[in-house]
């Protein structure tokens, strides 16, 4: 991929460029908890975005997206210059969010590509945001710390893409560490690295090839549900800032004051926060059976209470149970994408072969795609 980008940069712009990369991410447990002030357990992966970037001495950005048939976009750095192509809004948004914070940046030429499957739940968008946030911070010597770079990526999603996401994806892409998952408190941004090398198990993603699109769909409505319930509970319990602070008993107190739909959404989130902490304790004692049980619990909640699954994801989760997989669940925002599966080594080959064959037979299309997970480093400059 680097050779392809280098060739593309030479063809479009000539000269010498600096190379930057940021990864996509997996999340072992803790889905839809980040924007509720809760805990998540992500890790960076060995797939991401790579960009060649060179400052051009103007106030214009010239960008080529190799994965979009080498589409070329040029735009300025003022608010009125927002480009039309969806992918370019991420780069523009990062530039604007840096400028809003007082960062002095100028124009640049860039060619980029990625191997994070779009819409598969591995957060290709955060990888794109993090690549350019990290690169511009470095190239213009802005001195912005990585916490603020993560917030810049999140603000880009909110203000220029229309997805009211939490902070997890950008944080994982920037703070990833090879061989480690991260327990992240999404309210305080305190985090702890957990070595992750489960002996006797593999972590594997099965991609439904159903592409999720988080703009103009029920994702934002679920966030609104959670905020309504938190506000209702807060009237009785002022200490509750987010659903992360609430208990199931508190939720039951207000059940008659909220809609049945809002109740289901909140119940899932409160239970999911508890599952994250259960997994932390289980990992510290090497109890992967408990980790797996919590993963299945997350899928059940996301499917039945949060209602962000789809028939393809539910089918893969059922297959995991059939093949005695230790843990399986939908990963990411939902509405498509991947399941993440914790599989014993001796069951791996049989599970993968069976899942691919049965998925293709059930849905009459391509079999599910398989991605073995390698936990890798976060955003960086490439030498």
According to the 3-state scheme, what is the secondary structure of the chain? Answer: CHHHHHHHHHHHCCCCCEEEEEEEEEECCCCCCHHHCCEECEEEEEEEEEEEEEECCCCEEEEEEHHHCCEEEEEECCHHHCCCCHHHHHHHHHHHHHHHCCCCCCCEEEEEEECCCCCCCCCHHHHHHHHHHHHHHHHCCCCCCHHHHHHHHHHHHHHHHCCCCCCHHHHHHHHCECCEEEEEECCCCCEEEEECCCCCEEEEEEECCCCCCCCCCHHHHHHHHHHHHHHHHHHHCCCCCCHHHCCHHHHHHCHHHCCHHHHHHHHHHHHHHHHHHHHHHHHHCCCHHHHHHHHHHHHHHHHHCCCCCCHHHHHHHHHHHHCCCCEEEEECCCCCCEEEEEEEHHHHHHHHHHHHHHHHHHHCCCCCEEEECCECCCCEEEC
> Strand 201-207 to strand 71-76: parallel, antiparallel, or no bridges (unpaired)?
unpaired
User: How many CB atoms lie under 10 A from the CB of residue 134?
Assistant: 26
* Residue 372 annotated among the catalytic residues of the structure: no
From 109, 169, 207, 245, the catalytic residue = 169
Whole-angstrom Cα distance, residue 311 to residue 336?
9
Nearest Cα neighbor of 74 from 64, 281, 44 is 64
What residues are labeled active site?
169
């Amino acid at each position: 991929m680097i050779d392809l980008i280098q060739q593309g940069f030479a063809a479009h712009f000539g000269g010498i460029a600096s190379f930057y990369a940021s990864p996509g991410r997996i999340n072992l447990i803790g889905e839809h908890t980040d924007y509720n002030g809760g805990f998540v357990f992500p890790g960076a992966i060995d797939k991401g975005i790579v960009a060649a970037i060179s400052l051009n001495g103007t106030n214009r950005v010239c960008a080529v997206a190799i994965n979009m048939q080498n589409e070329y976009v040029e735009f300025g750095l003022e608010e009125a210059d927002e480009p039309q192509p969806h992918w370019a809004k991420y780069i523009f948004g990062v530039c604007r969010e840096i400028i809003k914070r007082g960062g002095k940046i100028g124009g640049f030429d860039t060619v980029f590509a990625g191997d994070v499957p779009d819409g598969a739940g591995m957060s290709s968008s955060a990888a794109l945001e993090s690549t350019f946030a990290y690169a511009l911070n470095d190239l213009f010597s802005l001195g912005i710390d990585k916490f603020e770079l993560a917030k810049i990526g999140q603000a880009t999603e909110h203000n220029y893409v229309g997805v009211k996401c939490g902070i997890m994806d950008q944080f994982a892409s920037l703070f990833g560490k090879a061989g480690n998952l991260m327990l992240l408190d999404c309210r305080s941004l305190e985090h702890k690295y957990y070595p992750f090398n489960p002996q006797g198990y593999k972590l594997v993603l099965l991609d439904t090839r159903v592409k999720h699109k988080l703009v103009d769909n029920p994702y934002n409505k679920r966030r609104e549900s959670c905020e309504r319930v938190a506000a209702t509970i807060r009237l009785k319990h002022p200490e509750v800032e987010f659903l992360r602070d609430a208990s199931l008993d508190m939720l039951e107190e207000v059940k008659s004051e909220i809609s049945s739909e809002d109740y289901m959404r909140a119940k899932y989130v409160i239970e999911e926060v508890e599952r994250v902490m259960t997994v932390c304790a289980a990992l510290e004692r090497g109890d992967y059976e408990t980790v797996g049980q919590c993963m299945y619990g997350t899928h059940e909640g996301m499917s039945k209470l949060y209602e962000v699954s789809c028939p393809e994801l539910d089918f893969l989760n059922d297959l995991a149970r059939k093949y005695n997989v230790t843990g399986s669940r939908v990963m990411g925002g939902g509405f498509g994408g991947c399941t993440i599966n914790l599989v014993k080594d001796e069951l791996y080959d049989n599970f993968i072969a069976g899942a691919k064959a049965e998925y293709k037979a059930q849905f009459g299309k391509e079999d599910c795609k398989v991605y073995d997970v390698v936990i890798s480093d976060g955003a960086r400059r490439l030498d």
